[in-house]
Amino acid sequence: MKDLNNNKERVIVAGVSHLQPDFDYTMDELSSLVIANNMEVADVITQKADSINGSTYFGAGKVTEIAEIANADDVSTIVLNDELTPSQIRNLEKSTKLSFMDRTELILQVFSNRAHTKQAKLQVEIAKLQYQLPRIHPSGNPLDQQSASGGLANRGAGETKLELDRRVIRKRIDYLKNQLKAVDKTIDVQSRRRNNTSLPLVSLVGYTNAGKSTTMNGLLNINKDDSNDRKVFEKNMLFATLDTSVRKIDLEDNTSFLLSDTVGFVSKLPHNLIESFKTTLKEAAAADLLIQVIDVSDEHWRNMLKVTEKTLNEVGVKGKPMIYAFNKADLKPGQRFPTIEGDNIFYSAIDKKSIAKLVELIKIKLFANYQEVSLLIPYKDQKITEGILQNSQVLKTDYLNEGTLITAKFSPHELELYHDYIQETANAKK
Q: Which residues touch 102 (CB under 8 Å, ≥6 apart)?
A: 79, 80, 82, 83, 84, 89
Is residue 212 annotated as involved in ligand binding? yes
Q: Phi, psi (5° rounding) for residue 255?
A: -75, 135
How deeply is 374 buried, as exposed, middle or buried, from its count of CB atoms within 10 A (0-12, 13-18, 19+)?
middle
Cβ contact 209:264 at 8 Å:
yes
Q: Is 263 annotated as ligand-binding?
A: yes
Confirm if 117 and 243 have CB atoms less than 8 A apart: yes
CA distance linking residue 309 with residue 97, whole number of Å: 40
Nearest to 293 by CA among 199, 222, 203: 203
CA distance 286 to 158: 49
Q: Is 242 annotated as a binding residue?
A: yes
Is 261 annotated as contributing to ligand binding? yes
- Is 213 labelled a binding residue? yes
Q: What sign for the dihedral angle of Cα 390, 392, 397, 403? A: negative
> How crowded is residue 93: how many other Cβ atoms within 10 Å of its Cβ?
13
329 is in an annotated binding site: yes
Distance CA 225, CA 270 (A): 40
Instruction: Find out whether 172 and 181 touch, Cβ atoms under 8 Å.
Output: no
**Rounded Cα gap, residues 317 and 360, in angstroms:** 25
- Element (H or E) spanning 356, and its range? helix 352-367
Residue 241 annotated as lining a ligand binding site: yes
* Residue 45 · residue 111 · CB < 8 Å: no
The Cβ of residue 193 has, within 10 Å, a number of other Cβ atoms equal to 9
Q: Is 328 annotated as a binding residue?
A: yes
327 has binding-site annotation: yes
Annotated binding site for GTP: 206-213, 239-243, 261-264, 327-330
Annotated binding site for Mg(2+): 213, 241
Annotated binding site: 206-213, 239-243, 261-264, 327-330
